Structure 1
Amino acid sequence: MKLSWKQLLIAAGLFLAGYFSFNGSAGAQALEKPKVSIAVGGKNLFYYLPLTIAEQLGYFKDEGLQVEISDFAGGAKALQAMVGGSADVVSGAYEHTINMQAKNQPIVAFVLQGRAPQIVLAVNNKTMPNYKTVADLKGKKIGVTAPGSSTSVMASYVLAKAGLKPSDVSFIGVGAAAGAISAVRSGQIDAIANLDPVISMLEQSKEIKTIADTRTLKDTNDVFGGPMPAATLYAPAAFIQKYPNTTQALTNAMVRALKWIQKAGPSDIIKAVPESYLLGDRSLYIDAFMKVRQAISPDGYFPPGGPDTALRTLKAFEPSLADKQIDLSKTFTNSFVQKANAKYK
């Protein structure tokens, strides 16, 4: 049976309408890589809340993406997964882009999730009841999410300002959930560098004493002397060059999540995240969210001066960076965020 031109046009129209609907939007038709794997270190943390919101509210799917998220004990482990080829993209700390450039492995951060690190360094009241100054940490065990992660970077910087080197302490990976809490309670570690809701739970029970806090913009400026970019989505420069539309789709979903968080109330957050994130205490989770709310980026843009702060921080305790020429302009881009903000206002 022959179809008329009119019937063919109607059929073609129906096909295209279905295609665009399947892909979430007409702009998603050109996705070079619809299936994307993202590695993250400590997905339950508020540090990565925008990633969870984008996933839970279906924003990745709306952009035509099938995203698989793998959770690791810390950001350094997530980075290893990407370098090893088992992840395309990392939801991780901005400073990893600097360290990787120093190793001639260019990676680029393309959307900012946090404009303050949210990391708290605190001593264990059980093992260090007589703590006085940072110098008292010499020879002690500091629990971090994973050695080499942003938690150890923050702790190392605070130590450096007190005249201590990272080698003056022992960094022990304790993860970012119940394991970190039990490490404090069992006396396995003398201090901890971790994030909320873990820190708030330990604070509530008065098991720790805070040394340095970066949950607010003011506290972050006090610790680092400037704006400090925190969680990002980053990927190898080659990935972004090869899959620009996919990168844009990822950015769109994240910026949409950031804007949702800005307007959401605590009860909205509770409904959106998995029950396991609450660590068995909803009211504590809400209190912790209110403490870190301003640390979450409102729009995904990397702030002026932020990359410079990160480089200065790393150089304070990493001798290997002293003789390296780092081109910060190649460690991040705001171009995808700019387009995303035009789409989601």
Structure 2
Amino acid sequence: MTRAKAIAATVVAFMGVSFSAALAQGRGETVKIQDYPGIGNLIYRVAVTKGYCEKHGITCQLQTVPSAPLGAQALLAKSIDVAVVGPEVQIMAGLKGARLVALLSIGQRNPFLITVRNDADAPAADRGYPAFMADLKGKKIGVTARGSIAELQFGQLARRAGLKPEDFTFVAVGAPNTSYGALISKQVDANMTFEPSNSMCVVLKTCRTLYRAGIATEPPEVAGTNGASVVAVMTRDAAAKSPHVPEALIAAARDAEAFIQAPGNFDELLKIAQGFFKFDMPRGEEIMAVSLKDAVPSYRIAISRPALKQIADNMLATRQIEAAVDTAPLLYEKAP
């Protein structure tokens, strides 16, 4: 390559980088983003704390909305600009006429896990899934709410193990803070729950975890959802009207991901998390640290297209929807 061509190539490359950066630059907009109690929306908690939103020309304002359905409602009511939901909620909203697009992943891993008390009669526990499911047959299973994704996914685990959902009694026990109490007081025999439930078992040593969907390899219907479990969504109209805003949101989230995934940043990351929320329970700080360390691998912003399709296929299999859904239109055109 001649010197002139080399210089030209360098200039073109620089212009390309500069142009891409410019596209990802906001214009001073304030963007209201859904947050959750607990460790919550860590991607944007980091982006806010570290100044990544301002770096990309926007102000990120976190607004606590405690559930995904309520987040979708707030988004459609324009109380917030970005909701943080499971793809199931996005799909159901779409079937009702809401045009939502997923910008990025807020949490890649499937959050659900199964916990039992230490004194549980579970002789097949050490043999893993599907063996331990027979130990739970006929037992009371705590779920976040009746008809919830937790209950539906437990039903999938049951079917793949040769059992039926009707072989179990499901009890609504709420979030981990209340589901843990229901388990320890023997109101239920096991919980289909989420973090910090596993961390509470690890730290308090009163229970144990039989199954973690986020690292499971079986069954494929559940393991296949890893990569798209929780996504940040905007309305398609808002994204089209101001495309520089979703691009700035993605750029800020990419910076936050890099910070979260750097091992040397964990102590600062823990301080950031504790600045937003603390577990009000015995040994809460230790539980928070264990839970956060366990969750770090999930905080990547790329959305797995096969995982998104698996989630839609699961909804069809469990009769949440009546027909197959094309998942391609669910994604923002520049979603990672």
The 1:196/1:141 distance shift into structure 2, 3 A limit, reads closer
Q: CA deviation at 1:131?
A: 7.7
Q: Percent identity?
A: 16
Cα gap change, 1:311 to 1:154, in 2 (>3 Å): same
1:103 pairs with one of 78, 96, 100: 96
In structure 2, the residue matched to 1:301 is: 302
Match of 2:50 in 1: 57
> Once the 2 structures are TM-superposed, how far is the Cα of residue 26 of structure 1 from its aligned partner?
9.8
Equivalent in the alignment of 2:85: 92
Instruction: Report deviation, 1:100.
Output: 2.6
Encode CA deviations 1:73-132: one digit per residue, 9 max, x unaligned.
x33343343345533321222332223333333322111122212321223457x54586
* 1:303-335 deviation per Cα after TM superposition (whole angstroms, max 9, x unaligned): 241212212222332x242x3241110112350
Give TM-score, length-normalised by structure 2: 0.74
The residue that corresponds to 2:34 in the other structure is: 39
With 255-264 and 49-58 compared, the bigger mean Cα shift is at 49-58
| Maintained 8 Å contact 2:215/2:223 | no
Match of 1:15 in 2: none
User: Any idea what the Cα deviations from partners look like across 1:156-191, whole Å, max 9, x if unmatched?
Assistant: 432443443489643525225x33433333334443
Aligned to 1:192: 191
SS of aligned partner of 1:301? coil
Q: Give 1:258-269 correspondences, 5 Å limit.
A: 258-265=257-264, 266-269=266-269
Aligned-partner Cα distance in 2 for 1:82–1:26: 24
- Could you tell me how far apart the structure 2 residues matched to 1:125 and 1:85 are? 46
1-structure distance, mates of 2:296, 2:77: 34
2:243 pairs with 1:244: yes
Alignment of 1:213-232 (within 5 A): 213-216=212-215, 223-225=222-224, 227-232=226-231
**Cα displacement (A) at 1:302:** 1.6
The Cα of 1:263 is off from its aligned counterpart by 1.0
Contact 1:54 1:253 in 2 (8 A): yes
CA contact (8 A) 2:221 2:310 kept: no
State the Cα distance separating 1:139 from its structure 2 match: 6.8
Instruction: Give me the whole-angstrom Cα distance separating, in 2, the residues matched to 1:226 and 1:103.
Output: 23
| Farther-moved stretch of structure 1 (160-169 vs 205-214) | 160-169
Matched, 1:122 2:115: yes
Q: Following the alignment from structure 1 to structure 2, what is the Cα–Cα distance between the partners of residues 43 and 211?
A: 25
* Residue 316 of structure 2 is aligned to residue 315 of structure 1: yes
CA contact (8 A) 1:102 1:324 kept: no
Q: 1:207-237 CA distances to partner (integer Å, 9 max, x unpaired)?
A: 3343321233757968424644122111222
In structure 2, relative to structure 1, the CA distance for the partners of 1:27 and 1:233 (3 Å cut) is closer
Question: CA–CA distance in 2 between the matches of 1:225 and 1:312?
Answer: 10
Partner of 2:331: 332
Structure 2 gap segments, 5+ residues each: 1-21, 125-131
Paired residue for 1:67?
61
Label 1:125 to 1:314 Cα distance change in 2 as closer, same or farther (>3 A): farther
The alpha-carbon distance between structure 1 residues 270 and 65, as it changes in their structure 2 partners (threshold 3 A), is same
Q: Corresponding residue for 2:127?
A: none
Aligned-pair Cα RMSD in Å = 3.4
Distance 2:166 2:238 in 1: 33
Contact 1:39 1:79 in 2 (8 A): no
Task: Supply the distance in 2 between the matched residues of 1:261 and 1:278 (Cα, whole angstroms).
Answer: 20
Matching residue's letter, 1:306:
A
Quickly say closer, same or farther: Cα 1:95–1:112, change in 2 above 3 A. Answer: same
TM (norm. structure 1) is 0.72
The residue type equivalent to 2:315 in the other structure is L
In structure 2, what is the equivalent of residue 285 of structure 1?
A: 288
| Structure 2 CA distance for partners of 1:235 and 1:172, relative to 1, 3 Å | farther
Q: Would you say the 8 A contact 1:138–1:168 is kept in 2?
A: yes
Conservation of the 8 A alpha-carbon contact between 2:32 and 2:81:
yes
SS at 1:210's partner residue? strand
Once the two structures are superposed, residues 45-81 of structure 1 have per-residue CA deviations (whole angstroms, 9 ceiling, x without a partner) of 37x3223222332333443224132141x33343343
Distance change (3 Å), C-alpha of 1:259 and 1:66? closer
Aligned residue in 1 for 2:14? none
Hey, what does 1:175 align to over in structure 2? 175
Measure, in 2, the Cα distance between the counterparts of 1:131 and 1:80: 45
3-state SS of paired residue (2:58): coil
CA gap 1:208/1:116 in 2 versus in 1, 3 angstroms: same
- Give the number of aligned pairs: 301
Report the CA distance shift for 1:29/1:295 in structure 2 as closer, same or farther (over 3 A).
closer
